[in-house]
Amino acid sequence: MIRFEGRVAFTPYTMSCGGTTEAAEAIWRDVHAPYLNVHRDGFCTVKTWGCYLKATDIQRALRSAGLKCPAGLRSIVVKQRTSSGRAAELTLDGDERVDLDAGSFRFAVGRTLGWNLIRSNWFEVSGTFEWNGRGEGHGVGLCQRGAEAMAAHGHSYREILAFYFPGTTSVNWVRLGGESVAVYGTDPNRDMAALHEAERLVNTLPWPLQSSPMIYIYPDVDTFRSETREPGWVAAHTSGARIDLQPASELLERGILRDTLYHELLHVAVEQHAVAGLPFWFREGLVEYLSGARGLRASALAESDLRQRNDRAKAAAAYADSAAEVRELVARYGQTTVLGWVSAGLPAAVMNSRSKMQTTNNK
Is 125 within the bounds of a domain?
yes
Q: What is the rounded average pLDDT of the residues 249-275?
A: 93
CA–CA separation, 199 and 4 (whole Å)? 24
Q: Given a cut of 50, is residue 27 above it in pLDDT?
A: no
3-class SS of residue 250: helix
3-class SS of residue 58: helix
Boundary residue ending a domain (266, 293, 318): 266
| Partners of 185 in the β-ladder | 174
Is 148 within the bounds of a domain?
no
pLDDT averaged over every residue in the chain = 81
Q: For strands 214-217 and 242-245, give the pairing.
A: parallel
CA–CA separation, 74 and 95 (whole Å)? 8
Q: What is the rounded average pLDDT of the residues 143-164?
A: 77
Q: What is the rounded average pLDDT of the residues 320-343?
A: 94
Is 140 within the bounds of a domain?
no
pLDDT category at 278 given cuts 50, 70, 90 is very high
Does one domain contain both 251 and 291? no
Q: Given a cut of 60, is residue 261 above it in pLDDT?
A: yes
- Cβ proximity of 274 and 23 under 8 Å: no
Is 307 within the bounds of a domain?
yes
Q: State the residue range of the domain holding 324.
A: 280-362
What is the tally of structural domains in the chain?
3
Q: Given a cut of 70, is residue 1 above it in pLDDT?
A: no
Is 258 within the bounds of a domain?
yes
Rg (CA), the chain: 21
Q: What is the rounded average pLDDT of the residues 158-163?
A: 70
Is 153 within the bounds of a domain?
no
List, edge to edge, every strand of the sheet that includes 214-217. 174-177, 182-185, 214-217, 242-245, 236-239
Least confident of 77-86, 196-205, 268-277: 77-86
Percent of the chain surpassing pLDDT 90: 48
